[in-house]
Amino acid sequence: MDQGLKYHLSDLLSESIIKVSPVLGGDISKAYRMDTPNSSYFLKLNPTGDALKMFQTEAFGLQCIDNSNTIKTPKVVACGKVKGSAFLVMEFIESKPASSKDFETLGRQLAQLHQSSSKDFGLNHDNFIGSLPQSNTLHTNWSAFFAQERLGPQLELAKQKHLLSNHECPTEQNITSVVEPLFKNIRPTLVHGDLWQGNYLISKCGTPYLIDPAVYFGHHEVDIAMTKLFGGFSNNFYTAYSSMIPNDENTTIRLEIYQLYYLLVHLNLFGKLYYSNVMSILKKYF
């Protein structure tokens, strides 16, 4: 790491940084563990244009989840820009693989997070899903929110990137008419927004932490849809979760429709590899 940056961070923490080691596993930013005589910190660095905004909204998302007093997040220590690079510093969580019991705790605490409700769907500011902008304009209607703020912008982007053609993309009207009958009696609850298996940590003593959120108030099933898309969550997680928030007769269909959002995001971020998965849901429902 650049010496100037290291001095700056040392200053900010009022502690000398005695060791910096790279942390692997991130898609977007460079990540490091920084050790000081008294603590360990997790540092993300990103020199790209949107990165400061990305880190600020990530810090806000972590704080939002923490404020719900349901599931822990690493405490954010600093966020800013120095020497052309945005940085985010937070508490370093020493983690371990999840046991069955940890998955049960994670499922229960996620269900508790999903009890934090709000009046409207969305959030008072936009954020990011991965490195892509995520619009959170407030709506009173979940179908409208999902069509206009979730599927709509990702379909548009896929068209601009020539990943999908016009005739492959449903119109907003199409989307609304399909989802409206399925999206009944949905209330806005706080969601992590990007809950794949790389976005939780289990501390050495078995406490779950959520990381890298894309929070907003939405339907709680969006988080479950994401956990099921790429797998990695055990049955104990789903059993604990559904003992607190049961499924209903349309859950299976909704999960697939919510997965379409995440697949479109992956199509736009990583390209053609995700095309056939996107198309199979589009053809099935729209």
| Binding positions for ligand ADP, rule: CB under 6 A | 23, 25-29, 31, 42, 74, 90-93, 198, 201, 211-212
- Tell the smallest beta-carbon distance from residue 28 to ligand ADP (Å): 4
Q: Which residue is nearest to ligand ADP (CB)?
A: 26
End-to-end CA distance of the chain: 49
Among 102, 194, 212, 223, the active-site one is 194
- Tell the smallest beta-carbon distance from residue 41 to ligand ADP (Å): 8
- Tell the smallest beta-carbon distance from residue 192 to ligand ADP (Å): 12
Kindly tell me which of 3 and 24 has the beta carbon lying closer to ligand ADP.
24
Beta bridge partners of 43: 32, 89
Beta bridge partners of 89: 43, 78
**CA 175 to CA 181: how far, in whole Å?**
11
Kindly tell me which of 163 and 210 has the beta carbon lying closer to ligand ADP.
210
CA distances 94 to 69, 167, 208, Å, are 21, 49, 11
Kindly tell me which of 42 and 237 has the beta carbon lying closer to ligand ADP.
42
Residues 6+ apart with CB under 8 A from 211: 62, 73, 74, 199, 200, 201
Is 35 marked active-site?
no
Kindly tell me which of 8 and 30 has the beta carbon lying closer to ligand ADP.
30
Residues 6+ apart with CB under 8 A from 176: 143, 144, 147
- Tell the smallest beta-carbon distance from residue 89 to ligand ADP (Å): 10
Catalytic site residues? 194
